[in-house]
Structure 1
Amino acid sequence: MPLFFKKKERHEQKVSLPANRAIEPMQAHISSDAEQTVEKITQIFKKDIDFSTRRFHLFGETLSVVLYMSSLVDQEKLDRDIIKPLQETRISQEYIPSKLSTNSLMSCLLEDVLYHCSGTSESRLSTLLSGLLRGKCVVLIEGSDQALFLDAFKPEKRSLEQPETERVVRGPRDGFIEQIMTNVSLLRYRLPVPEFRIEQTEVGRRTKTRVGICYIEGIVNKELLNEVKKRLDQIDIDRVLDAGYIEQFIEDNPRSPFPQVQSTERPDKAVGNLLEGRIALIVDGSPFVLIVPATFNQFYQTSEDYNERFLITSAIRLIRFMALIFSLTFSSFYVTVLSYHPEMIPAKFVVAASSGRAGVPFPAFIEVFLMEVAMEILREATVRMPQQVGGALSIVGVLVIGQAAVLAGFVSPITVVIIALSTIGSFATPSYNAATAFRMLRFPLIILAGTFGLLGLAFGIIFILNHMLSLRSFGVPYMVPVAPGNTSGIKDSLIRAPLRWLKKRPAELQPQDVKRWDSKEEWKPKSSLNGQKDGDTNG
């Protein structure tokens, strides 16, 4: 069976949109009459307050018109680098007027006059209109059927700051932002190699969102690359406002609660995955970069794991994994023990458990379920509230509401402790998507535990494990290297072996270049200053 999953072709026919009269002229070419072209474009953008036109005379003689969107264009650059050089009357008369209808005029203007501004010549009206909406300006010259297509875009962007969702103690502090070219520069800065490729495509019938397909040629599997391009081409939607839209269309199993595409705001993490043979998707307008394919062990690992010593990192990874399992099963196991198997409680804790529940009117199942719902409401309220109020709200919710519920006799103190520990365990997972999936799965486990006891809890855990084992991300098994087993992959899963042991890239990706580094001899540290060879002197 081939490695990469072949997605079923869509049998539904695309619905043809009715023709828009205002868009019909876009299929034509501009004419040599500048005023006629201006009138045609003005009819399309006549209701837009930021559409601007400015007339001037080329070299002081020929009528010309510049069209642009004032909200997207750097006005100072437009005046200084475009209009001013074109108005210079000192330019040699050999450029005008005999060459107005030839391509030599455009080449002379682009190569000899507009040396501060990059651009091309264009005659297709559809290309000119699309460029206007992306921050370019169009210069129409009377008598020429070609227009100058110049770049004057001024992006409004925020500063490069450390991502709020992926903070590290030791590591780079920059993060992706919404501008695609800035994100490309962050990757180029860390990958100054000619094999690094970034292919561009557009997704969305109306938004025309630019998506960059990033990979390293010579490492990435070509079948994986072709599959990614195929799935992107099959997306048929009118808008793409964030990377999450792309993620939902390209994942293998959209009905699964577990994420099958990894997202990150850290350039170092994206580069690390590219060097392993994965593909990164940069979506214009989103600070999140998608990484495919994704496996389960990636969601409890961080980029900081490779900056620390392997013993410390291995211990922290085990703690994260235990916290993940703890947050999934602790509440339901507590319900099982109290409701169906009280004999499992140690004798020393029987009195504390029974006295704490004295006077509570609800059974353990209802008590835990209501507390879990309350914690989720409190967590959601904390996230949506302003930052200045969110911290105070979380403290008030945990301390005041929890204490008041215990004093009122609605819940027992031990239940509050159990719910708090389960919630804290979910926060130890670095990936927000994976933590949310496990947090939501607690509710069906609590229902099964409250209904069928230990048997229901075991059935729920087995069902979750079976579902995770059946998942694939672009054909790669979700639970690799555990299932199917891979001895080499275990070195970088639950634990992290020393970097000098990680000689090969993940085998499940089938990269073209398997080895990270090639050494015929085992790596050894260089001898210290005190360990000089015999005969060495400090002469």
Structure 2
Amino acid sequence: MAVIPVLRFPWSKQKKSGANEQARARHKSDEKQTDDEPFTENIEHTISYMRERFDISDDFVVRRIQVMGDTPAVAFYFPTLTNGGHQEAIKSFMTIGTRRRDAPEIDLKQELLNDYLFSCDGRTEETMAGVIEELLNGSTVVHVEGIKEAFVFCTRNVDKRSIDQPETEQVIRGPREGFIENLMTNISLIRYRLQAPELRIKINKIGKYTRSCVAVIYVDGIVNPALVEEVQHRLSKIEIDGIIDSGYVEQFIEDNHYSPFPQIQVTERPDKAVASLLEGRVVIMVDGSPIALLAPTVFSQFYQTTEDYAERFLLVSFIRIARLVALLFSLVFPALYVAVISFNPELIPTEFAVAVAGGRSGVPFPTVVEVLVMEISMEVLREATIRLPQQVGGALSIVGVLVVGQAAVSAGFVSPITVVIIALTTIGSFATPAYNAALALRLLRFPIIIIAGMFGLYGVMVGLILITNHMLTLKSFGVPYLSPIVPGNFEGFKDTVFRAPLWWMKRRPAMLHTPDKTRVGSQSYEQLERSKHNTLDPLTVGNSDKGGGRDGQSQTSDRDSSGDRHH
């Protein structure tokens, strides 16, 4: 078998002539017209076209081979994307030898596909545009002389990090697996947990240059078909050079772009994504991003976690109330402090007022300025802690809280009570599970403090009314943001402030308008309770072992039995 050496090596540095550069420039300006042209039977035309498009890149390889002993062919691939996977595809052509049948009526393409090519994912492509897209995706393309189509083999093999515990969502009880950057791996994590034939995955290509794969995942029969159509419609309208992260998609498809509140939930956990799919939501994932988008979203989801459904409902209800208290602390506690100290000091007890006045003696700033300075300093410190390396960031947070805070109090810039208020507020913001929701509350904290410094408690109430009114106007794919509270829904109240037992939540959220509304059998809990038996009850087990007695009463004791044996 004659094999012609490779025309272009990844490490080769060949000088391009001026004529070639001008030809490439002319081709680039006219690429929209030429990319859609079909393949020809001549491989020399294909080689010339591919060299004009890619040969300026040193990692593009063009390799000539012989098929069936005398038929010339050419293979194209990027070794940086295949990691050796192209070798098996080329080997399947080169090892055919001269085994071609003598029957001339047999089509060469069908003979290769059906009899000789042993790659399970081999197929053909008819246009140059399709071939170029496959090449850039990591596939190996082979064009055989005399065939108007190219053979495409999926040989993509890019290094990726291993599956690990998610960084943005700490796991207390649940699987320790998190999404990674590879889309196919993320889809496999979802299919592993949701082994249903109704699971649907639609992949879109978005980005003029990146051509990023954006997957829309849903469960057919549970999700409302209108929701899937709307998601696909919004994705189809995105025109941008590249999609680098799922956050790009989120900013395009959300309803209100000027609201500080997130209208799409994000997660790194496959179990959380599967739970959303079973409720009737849509999951959107981007190749290259470990963050999945869950739509539609309501506000109550941002202070709920996956562990809420794995623990008993009494404990979870208490924890949810604690989260809501922390949420209110992070939003209004500094503003209330400013309003009371500046306008209504008579509302606090006398002894506490004396203590506050003593602590504030010598502070040169009014309360509102003092609180704003401390809040801004805390935000700067928190941002610096996040951006620095982990080893340095931990030390900086300790130094900032202990040393800087104590030094500010000793120098008389702030009062001790202000440091306590800001510390409680910061801790409250950390208690919110969703980072983007906590960030919105941190942002809104500043205007409320300013209004409180100007109008006192009236300003705080007006600020809260404005925020609530804004949240009432928000929608996520048509779902009211404060559902199921406004509009009210009794079934939805079972999973808001309190979490009802799982067997009480028999229906999926009504706001999603799912075709299949039932998720828990109507009689499953009652049947389970009636069928329970105290199998290891010591009264019944002991009697059954001795073979006598009823209702927990034994006829003879061990001592009596032993005594009888002695007699």
Shared fold, TM over 0.5: yes
Contact 2:327 2:432 in 1 (8 A): yes
Deviations 1:434-485 (A, max 9, x none): 0000011000001000111111111001100111111111111111111111
Contact map agreement 1:23 1:44 (CA 8 A) in 2? no
Contact 1:138 1:150 in 2 (8 A): yes
Note if 1:78 corresponds to 2:86: yes
Secondary structure (helix, strand or coil) at the match of 2:80 reads coil
**Once the two structures are aligned, what percentage of the paired residues are identical?**
51
Residue 435 of structure 1 is matched in structure 2 by: 438
**Equivalent runs, 1:52-63 vs 2, <5 Å:** 52-63=61-72
Shift of 1:85: 2.7
Q: How far apart, in 2, do the equivalents of 1:217 and 1:171 lie? A: 26
Report the Cα offset of residue 94 of structure 1.
1.1
Aligned residues: 515
With a CA cutoff of 8 Å and minimum separation of 6, indicate the structure with the bigger relative contact order: 1
What is the alpha-carbon distance in structure 1 between the residues aligned to residue 148 and residue 468 of structure 2? Answer: 65
Alignment of 1:320-335 (within 5 A): 320-335=323-338
* C-alpha distance in 1 between matches for 2:108 and 2:377: 71
Within-5 A mapping of 1:88-487 = 88=95, 90=97, 92-94=99-101, 98=104, 104-487=107-490
Structure 1: runs of 5 or more not aligned: 1-17
1:64 aligns with 2:73: yes
Alignment of 1:24 onto 2:33: yes
Q: Is the 8 A contact 1:260 1:295 kept in 2?
A: yes
Give 1:56's aligned amino acid: I
* Alpha-carbon distance between aligned partners in 2 of 1:368 and 1:492, rounded to the nearest angstrom: 36
1:223 and 1:56 mapped to 2: Cα distance? 51
Tell me the CA shift for residue 19 of structure 1: 8.0
The structure-2 alpha-carbon separation of the partners of 1:89 and 1:482, relative to structure 1 and needing over 3 Å to count, comes to closer
- The structural deviation recorded for 1:518 is 2.1
CA contact (8 A) 1:138 1:147 kept: yes
TM-score (norm. length: structure 1)? 0.92
Q: Runs (4+) of structure 1 moved beyond 4 Å?
A: 530-534, 536-539
Cα distance, 1:348 vs structure 2: 2.0
Partner of 1:527: 533
Following TM superposition, by how much is the alpha carbon of 1:110 offset from its aligned partner in structure 2, in angstroms?
Answer: 2.8
- 2:54 is equivalent to residue 45 of structure 1: yes
**Residue 502 of structure 1: which of 500, 505, 520 is its match?**
505
Offset, 1:90? 4.6
- SS of 2:361's equivalent in the other structure is coil
Amino acid at match of 1:398: V
Report deviation, 1:89: 5.2
Q: Would the alpha carbon gap of residues 470 and 89 (structure 1) be closer, same or farther in structure 2, given more than 3 Å must change?
A: closer
Task: State the SS of the aligned residue for 1:383.
Answer: helix
Is the 8 Å Cα contact of residues 117 and 151 (structure 1) preserved in structure 2? no
Cα drift, residue 273 of structure 1: 0.6
In structure 2, the partner of 1:6 is: none
SS at match of 2:336: helix
- Do the aligned residues in 2 keep the contact of 1:57 with 1:87 (CA within 8 Å)? yes
Contact 2:138/2:154 (<8 A) preserved: yes
Distance in 2, Cα, partners of 1:36 & 1:67: 14
8 Å contact from structure 1 (residues 60, 88) kept in 2? no
Does the CA-based 8 Å contact 1:106-1:148 persist in structure 2?
A: no
**Structure 1 position 340, deviation (Å):** 0.7
Q: Is the CA contact 2:69–2:97 (under 8 Å) kept in the aligned structure 1?
A: no
In structure 2, the gaps of 5 or more residues are: 1-26, 548-567
Over aligned residues, Cα RMSD in angstroms? 2.0
User: Which residue of 519, 523, 526 maps to 1:516?
Assistant: 519
Aligned counterparts of 1:131 and 1:89: Cα–Cα separation in 2: 24
SS in 1 for 2:82: coil
Q: Mark the CA change 1:414 to 1:181 in structure 2 (over 3 Å): closer, same or farther.
A: same
Deviation of residue 95 (structure 1)? 7.4
The CA deviation at 1:359 is 0.7
1:23 CA drift (Å): 4.5
Q: Is the partner of 2:143 in helix, strand or coil? A: strand
Distance in 2 (alpha carbons) for counterparts of 1:176 and 1:95:
53
Q: 1:423 to 1:108 in 2, by over 3 A?
A: same
Supply the AA of the counterpart residue of 1:298: Q
Does the aligned pair in 1 maintain the 2:281–2:296 contact within 8 Å?
yes
Contact 2:67 2:97 in 1 (8 A): no
Counterpart position of 1:15: none
Q: Deviations over 1:368-416 (max 9, x none)?
A: 0011001111111111111121111111111111111111111111111
1:311-360 per-residue CA deviation (whole Å, 9 max, x = no partner) reads: 11111111011101111000111111111111112112122101111111
Secondary structure of 2:66's partner? Answer: strand
How far residue 496 of structure 1 moved from its aligned partner, in angstroms, is 0.7
